[in-house]
């Protein structure tokens, strides 16, 4: 695992690229969408809350970024048909996809496995694993139409070493790591698409507050502060790297954390 928080991107790093971000309405997804647009990318903003997506759309336009597109979608209830409809729309509008950031996620309960509500477990797995897998499969032809496409799957420290009471979230992130390895191995040598995971680390987000309600959020990096690693993975400087697990921050000296938009 490597850390690239000191990466200094060129202003036009993502010029001309088409990038889709899930969970784009808030937290890390919002920061990533704005950051990618500021470096020249055309964004497809995907999330469940239209008002939040519209707010990010407006922020990108006011900042002078390329006009983004909005596609409301709730991973919890989305069907395979909806993912293929999304792929069809993007094919007609853009013809390719140069980047895909899977950022949307559901924390679930902080509870012992013996007490975990199984319906909630299923919801977490569907949002964090099944939905992103279905979306990736539907979008794969568009990614392969790009000369240099990057897929980033959001991981977590608890998806690399499990900790008690992280339940379905931890298991879902282990599945994310496994899927990354599988897809990267299938595509290596036959495709320009690279696939990696990224653990954001302890970041000032709503999900982090739910996981650690007693923590002082001012001690955490903001989503904007961890964007260099996202830019590096999404841009051409990471072209030769695939099938790897990256961290956006150095390890913390106590209680390592995670975040997802």
* Nearest C-alpha neighbor of 115 from the set 158, 156, 164, 76: 164
Question: What's the residue count for the chain?
Answer: 261
Of these residues, 57, 83, 169, 230, which one is catalytic?
169
132 within 8 A of 22, measured Cβ to Cβ: yes
Q: Would you call 230 a catalytic residue per the annotation?
A: no
Sign of the four-CA dihedral 205, 78, 101, 243: positive
42-47: strand order across its sheet: 69-72, 42-47, 18-22, 99-102, 149-154, 193-199, 245-247
- Point out the residues that are catalytic: 169
């Amino acid at each position: 695992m490597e850390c690239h928080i000191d990466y200094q991107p060129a202003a036009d790093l993502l010029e001309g690229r088409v990038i889709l971000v899930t969970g784009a309405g808030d937290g890390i997804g919002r920061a990533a969408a704005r950051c990618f647009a500021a470096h020249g990318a055309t964004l497809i903003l995907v999330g469940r809350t239209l008002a939040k997506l519209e707010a990010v759309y407006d922020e990108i336009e006011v900042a002078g970024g390329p006009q983004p597109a909005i596609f409301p979608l709730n991973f919890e209830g989305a069907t395979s048909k909806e993912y293929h409809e999304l792929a069809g729309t993007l094919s007609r509008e853009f013809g390719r996809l140069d980047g895909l950031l899977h950022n949307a996620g559901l924390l679930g309960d902080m509870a012992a496995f013996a007490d975990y509500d199984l319906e909630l477990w299923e919801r977490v797995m569907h949002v964090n694993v099944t939905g992103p897998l279905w979306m990736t499969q539907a979008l794969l032809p568009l990614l392969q139409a790009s000369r240099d496409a990057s897929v980033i799957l959001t991981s977590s420290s608890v998806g690399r070493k499990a900790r008690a009471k992280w339940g379905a979230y931890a298991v879902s992130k282990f599945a994310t790591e496994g899927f990354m390895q599988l897809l990267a191995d299938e595509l290596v040598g036959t495709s320009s698409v690279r696939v990696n995971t990224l653990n954001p680390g302890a970041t000032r987000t709503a999900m982090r507050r739910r996981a650690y309600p007693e923590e002082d959020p001012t001690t955490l990096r903001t989503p904007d502060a961890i964007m260099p690693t996202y830019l590096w993975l999404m841009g051409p400087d990471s072209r030769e790297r695939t099938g790897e697990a990256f961290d956006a921050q150095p390890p913390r000296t106590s209680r390592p954390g995670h975040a997802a938009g």
